[in-house]
A and B are shown apart, each in its own frame.
Chain A
Amino acid sequence: MMTSRDLILARIRQRRGTTSSPPDNTPLAGTSGQNLHPIDATERIKLFQRQALAMGCQLRPCSSRDMVLPTLQALLNDLPGHSRVAWPQLRRWLESTSLGCRFGSAHSTDQIGITGCAGAIAETGSLILTTGPDTPDSVSLLPEIHIALVCHDDIVVDLEAAWKHLAQRADWPPRGVTLVSGPSRTADIEQQVVIGAHGPAQVIILLYPG
């Protein structure tokens, strides 16, 4: 008996009317458009900041890597919510401090989630988050407030550069890659934009030099 798979493929081949040739994307490979002009690191960081702000992120630039923890501490003091969860990947960095956060995947009661990132994209102001045992997706998803630590060196210029950056990973392709650009939002009632739908209502980026 013909399965649905056979049937669909047979229909496609019949309509195509040609014999099967191997799929080939070489004629278009590498032509994905936009092609931002090459820009240096300083410009790249500036562009990222501009775009992230445009997407509704809040920025907290840190003057050095050592300033990240004090900045984070001060930020947490100002924010409502005492239930904090962070990526296990950040354990060694954050554990020694008195931030009072748990490391693991988020519970529905967590109010603040702290993550790093696998990269960031200047063109779109996006954080690149990948899912894995040390980087559970729920931390940047369930709490109302998402705080991300982003190193200048991790910022790439555009989407194409982001794919290249990701493809170098040992676990490529990871189970999940999410480009997060600002807090979640909806405009489904009378097209009025409301920040904070099902995901975080605030995305705060701590930006630090490498």
Chain B
Amino acid sequence: MPESAQFKKNAQRQLNNTGLQANLQRFGQRFAKARAIAIAELEDFSGLRQRATAWRDLTLANLDDWLIRFETHAQRMGTQVHWATTAAEVNQIVLEIAHKNKVRKVIKSKSMVSEETGLNAALQQSGIDTIETDLGEYILQLAGEPPSHLVAPALHKNVEEVADLFQEHHHTPRQTDIPTLCREARHQLRPHFLSADMGISGGNFLVADTGALVLLTNEGNARLVTTLPRVHVAITGIEKVIPSLDALAPLLRLLPRSATGQSITNDVSLLTGPRRPGDLEGPEEHHVILVDGGRSELLGSELQPALRCIRCGACMNHCPVYQNIGGHAYGWVYPGPIGAVLTPAYLGLEHARDLPQAATLCGACEVVCPVSIPLPDLLRVWRQRSVSRGLRPWPERVLLRLWLWCAMHPLLYRWIHRRLSWLLRQLANDSGQITYFPGLTDWTQGRNLKAPDQPPFHAQWAQRHRS
């Protein structure tokens, strides 16, 4: 059973994890504030957002045609295009390419799709040394943990934990100065860049008109991964295709601003095909794997807008639930509001039934989404499906049925209401708050219930109409 099925237990554990809580506190509103400043610099954010949304919708409406167009142009430039329906198929394709090229060492730049497929484990099992090179991903690889955020994968770790990991794995003196640790990672990873046979990257966008793969990074690692090894394999979802560079411009303006508040990432690479005659460097083989993995199921449904996602992480940076429980509680690759929408789609609702409930529906995620994904509406779609498929817990279902029956019998309803109100008022403290409820201590642990008003609404309403 996937971890996403254990949401409540995981969330509770993370809420009680004082180390994680301190790290989340530090992270706090940092990205949200940086984003606000960067967005304010734009002349017309809402216009830009509308255009970006329209471009994403345009490809999603004819996704098959755009994918074929990308494939045609990419192949013309010498790229080998593969299609994978499932996670297992992705790993199989990568392993085949690796075996054919006698690959012994792989360096990776960040790829969330490879997290979906568990690629690192598959490569290691085949005896292929696999090294993550994004600093956050590298730290997590040493720790044996999955990422907890889309753009800051190791935000749940503090400098002390990183210092311990580096000391243990690098056999070097323990350092706690952050620039020194970054320097150490550079020195440790550089030999791997130079000796790896194959580089694996994700893909932020695929440009249909030119066949280019677009990668955005700050550390320069994606450029090394795609330049130095003999073989480059990019793994990306089928929804990442965009028509042209015209579409890339607004998305480039929005993605880094929404993610970290940068006006642009330090490197934006457009890669088209393998090394050409006369080139002194560059991969001899360039592969792109187009991954479905449940994405096509969302097309044509109410959930289709989720496929616009450009993985900036703004929704989780502004989510009060994510801010309190962190990314691991969600139990799968994508945390936060977008994760709560995508996980039930890709793993099955029965394996993630609590995720769509883990939202206050405050709407902050929708407001900040650079491609206008109506996340609260999509969470509601899952909630409705949960109910109609009978996936809610039985006490909830019984209670709702009971309430429905009572509501259809007004006299009985009022009689019960009066008794319950009386009972609740007895439980309230002097300021009218109920902080303890026998049998529901878990519920009252983190919140209070206000005691019912006296006289009750029904009585007030009746009185107002009499006078």
| A residues lining the B interface (CB < 8 Å) | 3-5, 7-9, 11-13, 15-17, 20-23, 25, 27-34, 51, 54-55, 104-105, 108, 124-126, 131-133, 136-138, 141-142, 158-160, 163, 173-192, 194, 196-200
Contacts and interface: CB of A to CB of B under 8 A. Distances in A.
Contact of A199 (B55, B223, B268, B301): B223
B273 interface: yes
B297 to A, nearest CB: 7
Instruction: Indicate the size class of the contact surface on chain B.
Output: 35 or more
B139 A105 contact: no
A32 B68 contact: no
Interface in B220-273: 220-221, 223-224, 226-228, 238, 243-250, 252-253, 260, 263-273
Q: In terms of DSSP, what is the predominant structure of the interface of chain A?
A: loop
B404 to A, nearest CB: 35
A138 B283 CA distance: 13
A181 B265 contact: yes
Given A174-B272, A182-B266, A190-B178, A197 B48 contact: no
B309 interface: no
Given A34-B249, A133-B279, A198-B219, A189 B154 contact: yes
**Nearest 4 interchain pairs by C-beta:** A199-B220, A197-B219, A184-B220, A133-B278
B267 A180 contact: yes
Given A177-B269, A180-B267, A185-B266, A29 B246 contact: yes
A40 to B, nearest CB: 19
B30 A191 contact: yes
Given A33-B52, A191-B26, A3 B249 contact: no
20 contacts: A9-B68, A12-B238, A25-B58, A28-B243, A33-B250, A55-B263, A131-B282, A173-B77, A175-B282, A177-B212, A178-B269, A181-B268, A187-B152, A188-B152, A189-B154, A191-B27, A194-B182, A196-B183, A198-B189, A198-B219
A185 B182 CA distance: 9
B280 A32 contact: no
Given A25-B244, A25-B246, A191-B155, A12 B63 contact: yes
B182 A186 contact: yes
Given A4-B84, A163-B248, A176-B282, 14 more contacts: A4-B85, A7-B85, A34-B43, A34-B48, A34-B249, A124-B263, A132-B278, A163-B246, A175-B273, A178-B268, A183-B266, A189-B135, A189-B162, A189-B181
Given A8-B83, A15-B297, A23-B69, A188 B47 contact: no
Given A21-B65, A186-B135, A198 B221 contact: yes
B240 to A, nearest CB: 14
Contacts of A192: 178
A54 B262 CA distance: 10
A64 B404 CA distance: 83
A94 to B, nearest CB: 17
A36 to B, nearest CB: 8
Contacts of B248: 159, 163
Contacts of B66: 23
B131 to A, nearest CB: 12
Contact of B247 (A32, A124, A174, A194): A32
B281 interface: yes
Interface of B: 26-27, 30-31, 42-44, 47-48, 51-52, 54-55, 58, 61-69, 77, 83-85, 89, 133-136, 139, 152-155, 157-159, 162, 178-179, 181-183, 186, 189-190, 193-194, 208, 210-212, 218-221, 223-224, 226-228, 238, 243-250, 252-253, 260, 263-276, 278-282, 290, 292, 296-297, 299-301
Contact of B299 (A16, A28, A33, A34): A16
B281 A198 contact: no
A33 B178 contact: no
Contacts of B64: 9, 12-13, 16, 20
Contact of B159 (A105, A137, A189): A189
A190 B62 CA distance: 42
Contacts of B178: 189-190, 192, 194
A200 B223 CA distance: 12
A159 B276 CA distance: 26
A132 B264 CA distance: 24
A27 B269 CA distance: 27
Nearest to B57: A28
Given A28-B58, A141-B224, A178-B268, A15 B299 contact: yes
Contact of B186 (A23, A124, A196): A196
Nearest to B292: A8
Contacts of B153: 188
A124 B58 CA distance: 26
Contacts of B52: 33
A178 B17 CA distance: 42
B218 A173 contact: no
B371 to A, nearest CB: 13
Nearest to B228: A138
Contacts of A138: 227-228, 281
Given A8-B290, A194-B178, A185 B219 contact: yes
Nearest to A126: B264
B267 A173 contact: no
Nearest to A197: B219
Contacts of B69: 23
B51 A31 contact: yes
A8 B238 contact: yes
Nearest to B182: A194
Contacts of B42: 34
B280 A104 contact: yes
B261 to A, nearest CB: 11
A119 to B, nearest CB: 13
A173 B135 contact: no
Given A124-B263, A163-B246, A23 B208 contact: yes
A25 B243 contact: yes
Contacts of A22: 65
